Amino acid sequence: MIYLDTQASTPIHPEVSQKVREIMNTCYANPHSQHSAGQQAMHIIDMSRKSIADHLGVKFSEIVFTSGATESNNLAIQGVIKQALTKQDRVEIITTPIEHSSVIETIRVLENNYPGRVSCKLIPIDSTGVVKTADIEDLLTMDTVLVSVIHANNEIGTIQPIRDIGRMLKKYRPESEYPLFHSDGAQAIWSEKLQCQYSNLDLYSISGHKMYAPKGIGALYVKKNTPIQPIMYGGGQEYNLRPGTLNAPLIAGLGYAFSLLQRDDHEQILLNIKTLRDAFLHHLLTIEGVTPNGDLNNRLPHNINIFIPHKAADEMVIQADLAGLAISAGSACHSGALQESYIIQAIAPDNPIQASHSIRLSLSQYTTEEDIQQAFHIIKSLI
């Protein structure tokens, strides 16, 4: 099987896998227990927290472990809005139409639960899928408490100008604690360098299984003194923001995956993947009718998304699978059924078939030239 669905889930790095298994076998005590076995497990967690905090350029105590980016996005958005509603009658969220469903659905539920009190404005998006900072500034009002912009898109891979947005929002902060700035970094963190503090981010979501660590583990960066409430209640773990016994093995795996980003060879890995991706894309664009979706420059190095006018995406995914190639289209919902891509719809509103005729191919650091050649032949013959 040629696996080109890394943005759905990366393979697990062998050293990460080894780390998780080692900790699972040796550090089974409850990390919140007072005895030394518990303290040993907590020490493992502390080291991971430090590895993540160092990479993001933030304080140790500003990292909150969660089950993944879905939970991090929920905690960031619901937690901020819950707190803001204790002080303001009306609150506004500004976001993009190309967020992950865990952002879009969370905001939709808040709007429904607090009719007339919570509302959302969408930042206009063009065919590149990259937002303009000035468009966000135009949407700001006195009621804006949260701006949430995905760092890199999960389907079209476009990277947003997070630093510019943060700089613009900072102008409004001397007078008020709002608007807060959140970004969903699940897809970006593996390849994009980001210092949360310099980007003026207040909240940043991370997921393990988008960066060669296991599923079911993630984190949320929460800047000190951010006005936020928990959305779950229990034992008061994670600075009273996220209760529940911490999972030392998975946290160790996440911390280890972050330490890999600091290694000398990481830049070379990124360069190799981009070179392979560029060559692959170049070949794909020689197939009659095939065009790229999204911006070609502000883009993750491992992402390709193409529009194939003569072939429906769901047919393509199934036939590719039968030919031994794993790719994706739209987003896989919990049932595994394909839904038409609202992200492609947002960047190509005038083309009624583009959303149902586009596929994503995402490379991993283990993808080889031979994989790419075979994948190209499969796709070309299916088209």
Ligand X SMILES: Cc1ncc(COP(=O)(O)O)c(C=O)c1O
Active-site amino acid positions: 333
Identify the residue among 13, 19, 49, 100 touching ligand X (CB under 6 A): 100
* Cis, peptide link before residue 174, omega less than 30° from 0: no
Rounded Cα gap, residues 261 and 269, in angstroms: 10
For residue 261, CA distances in Å to 5, 49, 269, 294 come to 21, 15, 10, 26
Tell me how far, at minimum, the Cβ of 150 lies from ligand X, in Å.
6
The answer to whether the CB of 381 falls within 8 A of the CB of 24 is no
CB of 377 to ligand X, least distance (A): 28
- Helix (H), strand (E) at residue 108: helix 101-113
| Contact pick of 70, 106, 293, 356 for ligand X (by CB under 6 A) | 70
**Hey, which residues between 29 and 58 contact ligand X (CB under 6 A)?**
none
Residue 184 binds ligand X (CB under 6 A)? yes
Q: How many residues bind ligand X (CB under 6 A)?
A: 12
Residue 8, token pair as written in the block: 């759905």
Give backbone dihedrals phi and psi of 6, rounded to 5 degrees, phi first: -65, -30
Out of 154, 160, 247, 367, point to the residue binding ligand X (CB under 6 A): 154
Instruction: Among 102, 148, 293, 354, indicate the residue that binds ligand X (CB under 6 A).
Output: 102
Task: Return the half-sphere exposure (C-beta side, CA atoms, 13 A cut-off) of residue 243.
Answer: 8
CB of 184 to ligand X, least distance (A): 5
CB of 256 to ligand X, least distance (A): 17
Give the count of beta carbons closer than 10 Å to the beta carbon of residue 101: 15
Interface residue with ligand X among 31, 166, 218, 294 (CB under 6 A) is 218
Contact call for residue 166 and ligand X (CB under 6 A): no
| 187 is a contact residue toward ligand X (CB under 6 A) | yes
The reply on whether position 6 binds ligand X by CB under 6 A is: no
Would you say 185 and 204 are in contact if contact means Cβ atoms under 8 Å apart?
yes
55, 95, 189 from 105: Cα distances, Å: 30, 12, 23
Site for ligand X in 276-305 (CB under 6 A): none
Sign of CA dihedral 325, 16, 191, 203: positive
**Stretch near ligand X under the rule CB under 6 A, chosen from 27-35, 183-191, 223-231, 344-352:** 183-191
Which residue number places its CB atom closest to ligand X? 68
Does 69 bind ligand X (CB under 6 A)? Our answer is yes
207 binds ligand X, rule: CB under 6 A: yes
Return residues touching ligand X (CB under 6 A): 68-70, 100, 102, 150, 154, 184, 186-187, 207, 218
